[in-house]
Structure 1
């Protein structure tokens, strides 16, 4: 988010054909809830295309990348690494420490798909659980980002949007930005 150090979401283990929708939702959630970019590790051209299209239409800034491997990003990342896993420490016990760390430097948030390799657990500075029960990585990412930003991401201003959603109690309304 503007004014904060970089926040990157890394989607591990995208499986083409199986994870298209889930990976897309990881990217859309990252964008909507305050990340600066998402990196899909695997052959994720479909999710990349969808998230890029949404960013083009509804505004940014937000970057989308695809990488053959997660390892170079994790090894070369100049900041703290948070791995979201149901096996980690409860988010409510570590969120303030992570928030404080993020105020002074970049943060990489890792979310898995298939079984996460053990080296990810070892490389992470924080293994964090939103709950220690089975759940969706999209839900985990959403809860984590909201706690990290303390709700500030919900009032974010979007630039270079072609359209915007007009909040209504009932119904759906989307206007072009030139209709103001």
Structure 2
């Protein structure tokens, strides 16, 4: 979040025609729950427009960056790396260690779309599972970010917003920011 080292989410893989909503929702979840930036493969560049539109309307900061070499970005990352996978260590066993590491350096969070190359498992400092049951990558990202930020992301302040959601017990209310 704003006054801490960056959290960057790398969406590894994107199957056009199949992953459009999933990739968009990975980006929206990353934004809403405290990440600073999303790295998308060039094949998923069309998802950037939706995520940028939400950021423009509901505030930031949040950036979407396109890369032609997602594995290259993984290989060149200088800080700690978390790979979200249902085959990994339970989040509750390693979250303190990850949080301590993130205090010192930016954190890369890898969220796969399809079968992830073994290199990702090998390069990651933590292969992390939020549950060792089948689930979506969006759920994994949301649970992980909530654990990383210890719930502080839920009270985050948004800058340069045009609109804001007004919490209500029932119904919907969105207002222009004045």
Q: What TM-score does the superposition give when structure 2 sets the normalisation length?
A: 0.98
Q: What is the Cα-based RMSD across aligned positions, in Å?
A: 0.8
Deviant stretches of 4+, over 6 Å:
none
Q: Deviations over 1:36-86 (max 9, x none)?
A: 001112411221111011001100000001212211211121210000001
Q: Secondary structure at the match of 1:88?
A: strand
The answer (yes or no) to whether the contact 1:146–1:153 under 8 Å persists in 2 is yes
> Which residue number in structure 2 is paired with residue 73 of structure 1?
73
Pair 1:149-2:149 in alignment: yes
Q: Deviations over 1:132-173 (max 9, x none)?
A: 111100000000000000000000000000110111111101
Q: Secondary structure at the match of 2:57?
A: helix
Q: Secondary structure at the match of 1:5?
A: coil
Give structure 1 stretches of 5+ with no counterpart: none
Q: Secondary structure at the match of 1:43?
A: helix
Counterparts of 1:51 and 1:25, CA distance in 2: 9
The answer (yes or no) to whether the contact 1:84–1:129 under 8 Å persists in 2 is yes
The answer (yes or no) to whether the contact 1:12–1:42 under 8 Å persists in 2 is no
Residues 100-111 of structure 1 mapped to structure 2, 5 A cutoff? 100-111=100-111
The answer (yes or no) to whether the contact 1:38–1:64 under 8 Å persists in 2 is yes
Q: Secondary structure at the match of 1:48?
A: helix
> Which residue number in structure 2 is paired with residue 4 of structure 1?
4
Pair 1:118-2:118 in alignment: yes
Q: How many residues align?
A: 178
> Which residue number in structure 1 is paired with residue 164 of structure 2?
164
